[in-house]
Structures are given as C-alpha cells and as structure tokens.
Amino acid sequence: MKIAILETIVSSGHEVEFDRGLVKELKNKGHEPCFFVPEDFEFKADYDTPVEYLQGGPAITYRKAGFIKKIILSVTREYRRIRWFNSALEIAKKNSYDCIFIPTATPRYLKTLLRSKITRYTIPFFVNIHVFSFEKKGRLEQFLSLAKKLEKYNNVFLTICSPNHLLKDTPNTEYIDPPFYEPSLITPKGDYDGHELIRIGLYGFYREDDNIKKLLKIFSIADFKVPVKLIMQTVTENDKDQLSCEKVVEEYKSNSRFEFTDRRFYGKEWQEAISNVDVILAPYSSIHYYYTYSAMCFNALGFKKPVILAPNVNPTVIEKFKVGLTLNFDDEAALKSDLEKFINNFKEDYPTYLSEINKAAQVYNYSNFTRLFETKRK
C-alpha cells in the first residue's frame, strides 16, 4: 500500500518518535510511506522516506507569539490547513495512494475536513487524536458534534489513543492502543544485568508538582540496601517551573543519590539517555494523563525499562501487566515503604518486569495501525 503521512505542524518530542517507528513498521510490512507536508517544512528527523510538498503556504508556529498574534496565526493556520488538506487529497488521487493518515490531530482537524473538498474523494482518510485532553469544558461535546457530522463520509475514520473510553455511539470513531517507542537510532545496552548501582531517570520538562517534591524527599531519606542514583533533567518551559526547579537542585545537589542535567535531549541523545538508566519515573499528577497515554512511559517500556508511575499515569497498562510500580502519593509512609521495596528487590523482580513488558509489547505496537489501514482500505 502507498500510505501518505500528513504532517502540518513541526513535530517534536514523542511525535518524532511516533513517526519514526511508524515509518519503520510500514516499510517492514512492505508498504510505501510518504510524508505529505507544507512547503519549507522543517523536519526534526531524517526518516529516509519520500516527501510530497503541499500547496497552501508554509507551516505556522506559535513560538514566542503573544495573545493577539496567536489569534491571528490561528485563523491563518486554519485557512492554510484547508488548502493543505485539499492539496493532499489531490496529490493522493493523482499518484494512486491507498490512504492518508494524520498521526497527531485535534478536533480542529475534523473541522478542517468538513470545510475541505473531502466529499469529492473516496480515498480512506485516517485522523488520529494522539495526545488531546478532554478535561477542558466543552471539548468532549465539540468532538462528538464534529464526529457526528463526519459520519456520512464513509472514507473518514477517526481513532483515539486514550486509556479511558469516554465516547459512545460514534460509529466512525474507535479507540486504538498506541505503540511503545523502541530504540531506532542506537544499539541499546541491553537488559538489566544485575549491576548494583540502579540508575533511575526523571526526564522531560520539569513541572512544579507536589508529587515531585514528595518523591524527591522520600528518595533522599529512604533506606535503600543497594546503591541508587536519580538522574533528573532540569529543563523547564516557564519562569514558575524554572524557579521551582532551581530550589529543588539547590536542596539536593549535595546528596550523592541525585544527579542533575540541564541538557535538552534530541534524537540519538534522547534514546541514549533512556538506554543509560534502569528505571524511568513518570510521577506527575496532571489530570491530562487520565485522557492520554504517557509518552515517557511508552518510551521507557519500548526500551524494556520498568517504570515508577503516579496513579493517574497509564493505570490500564499497569493493571494488566506488572511492568513496574504505582506509588501512593497520599500516604508518605506507604510511598517510602513501596519505593524501598521496589529498589531493594529490583534485582530479583526484574525478570518478572521484563516478561510483563514483553507481553505488553504484543498489545501496544504499530501493527494496530497497519491492521487498521489494511482492513479499512477500499
């Protein structure tokens, strides 16, 4: 199959890892992926894949834009997105593509589809809602309304990567399990071999969060029977988080259990950072994770790393597969006891974690998407 991967915003972080793994899976299955992107599109990775450039103008970024400018750019982006979609449909028809797939979308993309020339085409058009949160008032209702309007188009298929299935009675929408992100740019160091210093990674943008403060405090005083080190990335996105992060570093920088890095990891460096630790932390309390899977967790599991999670992070995964530990942040005594038990028994328990990660990988993988393309093909 010839499959068009339609990207209209400059991807970063997990979107890059998702696209990289998707391209690899499609090629392994004998398909022919091709990126459809706006003119002058800035790729953050080399996917070794053909590219078709869309008419409609360059991609638009909100980076450093103020409130008024964001409104103007939002209107401009919507106008261009309609033209990009129309261009994609025309190119796909002209070059006999079998389907078009948008990996990371929001309900705005559904609105764009309704304003596009989709009615003139029969090519299957897949729209994947990958990291969209429905917690804000009106968002769920907005999505349901748009999905309902698209039901009459038999070639439009909506998928959502979410652990909580909130949508009902939407026949053109289905939930799909997202993939673990496996090493693709490096040769990983391999499975945990029983070495004594257990390295734990707390990566990604630091955000001020009570869970983090509790966890670091317990980590600093816990009775670990083996050497342990927590490597924490101190990159932030705003002044409030930066101030909080600086206080954390100042408080724990003299403790040998902690190591801080202000490096921004991309591509190969990102994968090496994950490969170089034994466990990954995903402790943030945000309600966002009630609606979407944690990319950090799925990076870890793709690299065969057990995880330590907050209760709201991927609960459906850890309930089915013993891939790590869920901490109770409401009870500091239990938090300390559970963390100590996890670390002190890690060497003995790791084979179980690895076995469960391998089982979970049979569920959370890219074949869920390739099967979708193959079964919906017309």
Identify the CATH number of the domain in which residue 53 sits.
3.40.50.2000
Q: Give domain status of residue 185, yes or no.
A: no
User: Could you report the per-residue pLDDT of 130-179, keeping only the tens digit for each?
Assistant: 766 666 777 788 888 888 899 999 999 999 888 777 777 788 888 889 89
267 pLDDT more than 70: yes
289 pLDDT more than 80: no
**Residues 137, 12 share a domain:** yes
Confidence label for 49 from pLDDT (cuts 50, 70 and 90): very high
Q: Domain span at residue 108?
A: 2-177+364-376
**Residues 161, 18 share a domain:** yes
On whether the CB atoms of residues 323 and 293 are closer than 8 A, the answer is no
Q: Give domain status of residue 184, yes or no.
A: no
292 or 90, which is more confident: 90
**Residues 141, 202 share a domain:** no
Q: Residue 47: what residue type?
A: Y
DSSP three-state, residue 243: helix
- Residue 63 has what pLDDT? 65
69 pLDDT more than 80: no
**Residues 338, 371 share a domain:** no
**Residues 29, 18 share a domain:** yes
User: Could you report the per-residue pLDDT of 190-215, keeping only the tens digit for each?
Assistant: 889 999 899 999 999 999 999 999 99
145 or 359, which is more confident: 359
State the average pLDDT for the chain. 90
**Residues 116, 86 share a domain:** yes
**Residues 259, 127 share a domain:** no
Q: Give domain status of residue 189, yes or no.
A: no
- Residue 12 has what pLDDT? 64
Q: Give domain status of residue 187, yes or no.
A: no
**Residues 153, 302 share a domain:** no
**Residues 242, 128 share a domain:** no
Confidence label for 64 from pLDDT (cuts 50, 70 and 90): low
Structure tokens at 250: 């100042």
Q: Is the pTM of this model over 0.75?
A: yes
- Residue 256 has what pLDDT? 95
Q: By mean pLDDT, which of 18-32, 111-125, 142-156, 283-297 is the weakest?
A: 283-297
Q: How many domains does the chain have?
A: 2
Q: Give domain status of residue 182, yes or no.
A: no
Q: By mean pLDDT, which of 63-72, 114-123, 222-231, 305-314 is the weakest?
A: 63-72
For 72, residues 6+ apart whose C-beta sits below 8 A from its C-beta are none
- Residue 291 has what pLDDT? 73
Q: By mean pLDDT, which of 28-32, 40-44, 96-100, 345-349 is the weakest?
A: 40-44
Q: Give domain status of residue 191, yes or no.
A: no
**Residues 121, 216 share a domain:** no
Q: Give domain status of residue 138, yes or no.
A: yes
Confidence label for 35 from pLDDT (cuts 50, 70 and 90): very high
**Residues 269, 203 share a domain:** yes
For strand 99-102 and strand 173-175, is the pairing parallel, antiparallel, or unpaired? unpaired
Q: Within the chain, what is the greatest distance between any pair of CA atoms?
A: 67
Q: Give domain status of residue 128, yes or no.
A: yes
11 or 17, which is more confident: 17
288 pLDDT more than 80: no
- Residue 377 has what pLDDT? 61
Q: What share of the chain is helix, strand, coil (3-state, %, to 5)?
A: 40, 15, 45
Q: How far apart are the first and last CA of the chain?
A: 11
Structure tokens at 179: 């993939």
58 pLDDT more than 90: no
Query: What number is the average pLDDT over the span 118-125?
Result: 90
CA distances from 71 to 75, 85, 105 (A): 6, 21, 19
- Residue 375 has what pLDDT? 82
On whether the CB atoms of residues 309 and 282 are closer than 8 A, the answer is yes
**Residues 221, 125 share a domain:** no
| Strand-by-strand arrangement of the 279-282 sheet | 258-261, 228-233, 198-202, 279-282, 307-309, 324-326
User: Could you report the per-residue pLDDT of 245-254, keeping only the tens digit for each?
Assistant: 999 999 999 9
On whether the CB atoms of residues 275 and 281 are closer than 8 A, the answer is no
